[in-house]
């Protein structure tokens, strides 16, 4: 259960980019909440990490790469990191417990982890309503992905596959092209990391 964290509990930093880098290098999972300004004009932002990878960023009405780039430029501000344990992969389908998460930052040049994926052999586009399900633990899946020499977006994708999200939801969450996500899912299926429940 998420606890409420107030601005008064924040830690002061003079460079938010250093805090972001620390969360990435230490492979932290959780939400970084940040504040700056005064009582009459306070800006509030957040960045969500899974194993050190940024999966969403928000600043006011901005989200994704634009919010991340703006937050990375912040100097003095307050921050709180709320650590979480990423949910384990589930073989069974449970009711969706929350809204679709905010999009991953697509390749923006700022995030080195967002390499674009291109596969020479692609099949037809998958059905948008198909639901990918993991066939192994996330640790084992990431090992297979690394041995296959696949780029980092594959690891981000496998972290999002929980037997609940459809292909369409994964496309929106990742912020990638439908064909690109279809290719990635088909590759994971060929590696027997996932199976598609159509």
Counting residues of the chain whose pLDDT is more than 90, the rounded percentage is 21
Rounded to an integer, what distance in angstroms lies between the CA atom of residue 55 and that of residue 81?
A: 15
Sequence-distant (6+) residues with CB within 8 A of 150 are 117, 187
pTM tops 0.75, yes or no: no
Rounded to an integer, what distance in angstroms lies between the CA atom of residue 15 and that of residue 88?
A: 33
Domains of the chain: 8-83 (no CATH), 131-197 (1.10.10)
Residue count of the chain: 198
Is residue 97 over pLDDT 50?
no
pLDDT at residue 46, as a whole number: 92
Rounded to an integer, what distance in angstroms lies between the CA atom of residue 48 and that of residue 54?
A: 6
Confidence of residue 87 (pLDDT cuts 50, 70, 90): low
Confidence of residue 9 (pLDDT cuts 50, 70, 90): low
Lowest mean pLDDT of 15-19, 58-62, 83-87, 127-131, name the range: 83-87
Residue with tokens 């905010």: 102
């Amino acid at each position: 259960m998420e606890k409420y964290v107030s601005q008064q509990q924040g830690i002061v930093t003079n460079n938010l980019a250093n805090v972001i880098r620390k969360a990435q290098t230490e492979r932290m999972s959780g939400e970084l909440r940040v504040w700056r300004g005064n009582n009459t004009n306070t800006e509030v932002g957040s960045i969500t990490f899974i194993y050190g990878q940024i999966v969403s960023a928000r600043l006011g009405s901005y989200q994704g790469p634009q919010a991340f780039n703006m937050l990375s430029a912040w100097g003095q501000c307050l921050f709180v990191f709320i650590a979480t344990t990423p949910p384990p992969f589930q073989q069974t389908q449970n009711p969706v417990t929350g809204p679709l998460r905010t999009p991953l930052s697509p390749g923006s040049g700022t995030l080195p982890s967002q390499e674009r994926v291109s596969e020479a052999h692609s099949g037809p586009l998958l059905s948008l309503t198909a639901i990918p399900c993991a066939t192994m633990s996330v640790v084992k899946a990431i090992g297979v992905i690394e041995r296959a020499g696949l780029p980092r977006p594959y690891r981000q994708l496998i972290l999002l596959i929980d037997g609940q999200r459809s292909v369409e939801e994964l496309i929106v969450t990742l912020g990638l092209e439908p064909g690109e996500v279809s290719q990635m899912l088909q590759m994971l299926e060929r590696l027997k990391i996932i199976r598609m429940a159509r």
